[in-house]
Amino acid sequence: MPECISPRFDARIAACTAAAPSNRQFRLGLLGGTFDPVHIGHLILAQTAYEQFALDGVLFVPTGRPVRKLDTLSTDAEARYAMIQRAIAGDERFDVSRIEIDRPGATYTIDTLRAMCALYGCGAQVFLIAGADAMVDLKTWKDADEIASSVIVLGAHRAGTKREAFTRGLEDGSFDIRLLAMPQLPVSSQEIRERVRGGRSVRYLVVDDVRTYIEDYRLYQQ
């Protein structure tokens, strides 16, 4: 079990754990993904969840070896982690965790939730922030029933995804799913990678420090 999951939130969650049971839990949003690279859509999603559900913080959790996307990763975990650090620098509402990067082997959401439960106990209430692609196949995730009993899912529809596909994720009553009123932004990590490969600008699609990092390290080049 890691000693620290979130440098910014750990002490605050520990205080909730140590307080009387009647005290309100720390409301922690968990936003996982490859973030290859992190872009403004991810940041607006985190902010939307934070505001609409009165969260105390949102934790970005970049995957180390994602089971479903091993063939599509363009950059290593350290680079993706560094870009998130730059994207959220100075925003006390957000933090980024190395928990899945440092864990050996394939990355599963349930392992992260178990580690958080072991460390935080009853101090944190976890809200799993999920996009439309995740909503479609929540039931197929490893130990899905345990995930369903551990978190509240905040689901956001994504531009370009058919509404019918998104609503399929709401049909299984085992998950407690709340819908986010998310601005529809036609931006994706894949599009950003393609723009870089084609020599086109990604200004305004990622924050400037992330754009500079991509340029300095020549990421996503052919």
User: Coil, strand, or helix at residue 59?
Assistant: strand
More confident residue, 215 or 165: 215
CATH of domain 26-184: 3.40.50.620
- pLDDT at residue 2, rounded to an integer: 59
**Is residue 58 predicted with pLDDT exceeding 60?**
yes
Q: How confident is the model at residue 191 (pLDDT cuts 50, 70, 90)?
A: very high
The residue type found at 204 is Y
> Which tokens go with 201?
């600008």
How does the average pLDDT of the chain come out, rounded?
88
Residues 6+ apart with CB under 8 A from 4: 10
- In the prediction, which pLDDT does 109 show? 93
Residue burial 49-70, b: 16+ Cβ < 10 Å; e: rest: bbeeeebbbbbbbbbbebeeee
* pLDDT level of residue 106 (50, 70, 90 thresholds): confident
Q: Is the pLDDT of residue 85 over 90?
A: yes
- DSSP single-letter state for residue 113: H
Better-predicted residue by pLDDT, 152 or 1: 152
Q: Is pLDDT above 90 for 8? A: yes
Residue 166: the pLDDT is 55
Is the pLDDT assigned to residue 6 strictly greater than 80? yes
Mean pLDDT to the nearest integer, 136-146: 89
Give residue limits of the domains in the chain: 26-184
Cis peptide leading into residue 37 (ω within 30°):
yes
Residue type, 116: M
